[in-house]
């Protein structure tokens, strides 16, 4: 059965927060297809996915010119593809699409999925971002995969700073408080944490 959830975002921070909550239910091998016009917030949404997966969201940028980027921390892997500049399905080989799907360990986020519609797995998570105004968006998430929308309907996680449980709808999610969010940010700014090059945990 296909399940659909429609949410309203007031701006980029809210879009990221929605994606962060969605990330709670994702599993290796999942494909998230992100559709919407230019400026709708697709790359912003991927930043939220990265944040929800415990990756550094500041590393995420549009992969338009390199087509594929990957973000890795320990065993967590997020592959980010932009199909906008692909001439069609036949060019997917250049980004290792078949191999990526076969590996089943990465979560794959695809911008402009309509360009490669025939190559997308039928079992996936579709996310449509629609302009409602200069900053506001309607975000429609649809999937038949079980459990994937758990974070959007009251799921929870654990604060990466102190380990306390955090409701999916918390204002500072995935952190339990602004203090924990600031402590995490201070760790990055003071270089106590390092960006992973794909090896082990920092």
For residues 53 and 121, give the distance between their C-alpha atoms in angstroms, rounded to a whole number: 22
Give per-residue pLDDT as tens, 76-107: 899 999 888 887 777 788 788 989 899 888 99
The pLDDT value recorded for residue 95 is 80
Which of 21-30, 92-101, 139-148 shows the lowest mean pLDDT across its residues?
Answer: 92-101
Is a pLDDT exceeding 50 seen at residue 139?
Answer: yes
For residues 82 and 38, give the distance between their C-alpha atoms in angstroms, rounded to a whole number: 12
For residues 35 and 83, give the distance between their C-alpha atoms in angstroms, rounded to a whole number: 11
More confidently predicted of 49 and 159: 49
- How confident is the prediction for the chain on average, in pLDDT? 81
For residues 7 and 29, give the distance between their C-alpha atoms in angstroms, rounded to a whole number: 25
For residues 31 and 12, give the distance between their C-alpha atoms in angstroms, rounded to a whole number: 22
Q: Which one of 3.40.190.10, 2.40.110.10, 3.90.1010.10, 3.40.50.300 gives the CATH number of domain 3-153?
A: 3.40.50.300
For residues 176 and 187, give the distance between their C-alpha atoms in angstroms, rounded to a whole number: 16
Is a pLDDT exceeding 70 seen at residue 28?
Answer: yes
Give per-residue pLDDT as tens, 105-130: 899 999 999 999 999 999 999 999 99
More confidently predicted of 180 and 46: 46
Confidence of residue 192 (pLDDT cuts 50, 70, 90): very low
Confidence of residue 193 (pLDDT cuts 50, 70, 90): very low
Spatial CB neighbours of 161, under 8 Å, sequence gap ≥ 6: 175, 176, 180, 181, 183, 184
Confidence of residue 45 (pLDDT cuts 50, 70, 90): very high
What is 154-193's CATH topology?
Answer: Erythroid Transcription Factor GATA-1; Chain A (3.30.50)
- Check: pTM over 0.85? Answer yes or no: no
Give me the mean pLDDT over the 38-65 stretch.
Answer: 85
Confidence of residue 179 (pLDDT cuts 50, 70, 90): confident
Q: What distance lies between CA 72 and its chain's CA centroid?
A: 13
List the domain boundaries for the chain: 3-153, 154-193
Helix axes 42-52, 12-23, angle to 10 degrees: 50
Q: Which helix (H) or strand (E) holds 188?
A: helix 178-189
Beta bridge partners of 128: 35, 140
């Amino acid at each position: 059965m296909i399940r659909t959830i429609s949410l309203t975002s007031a701006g980029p921070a809210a879009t990221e927060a929605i994606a962060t909550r969605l990330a709670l239910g994702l599993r290796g091998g999942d494909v998230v297809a992100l559709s919407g016009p230019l400026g709708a917030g697709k790359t912003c949404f991927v930043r939220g996915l990265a944040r929800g997966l415990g990756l550094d969201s500041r590393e995420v940028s549009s992969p338009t010119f390199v087509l594929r980027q990957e973000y890795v921390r320990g065993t967590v892997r997020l592959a980010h593809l932009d199909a906008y500049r692909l001439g069609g399905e036949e060019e997917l080989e250049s980004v290792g699409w078949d191999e990526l799907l076969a590996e089943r360990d990465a979560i794959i986020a695809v911008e402009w999925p309509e360009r490669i519609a025939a190559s997308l797995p039928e079992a996936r998570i579709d996310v449509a971002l629609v302009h409602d105004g200069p900053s506001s968006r309607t975000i429609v998430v649809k999937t038949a995969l079980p459990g994937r929308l758990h974070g959007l309907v009251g799921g929870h996680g654990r604060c990466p700073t102190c380990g306390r449980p955090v409701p999916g709808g918390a204002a500072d999610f995935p952190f339990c408080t602004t203090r924990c969010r600031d402590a995490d940010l201070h760790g990055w700014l003071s270089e106590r944490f390092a960006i992973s090059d794909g090896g082990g945990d920092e």
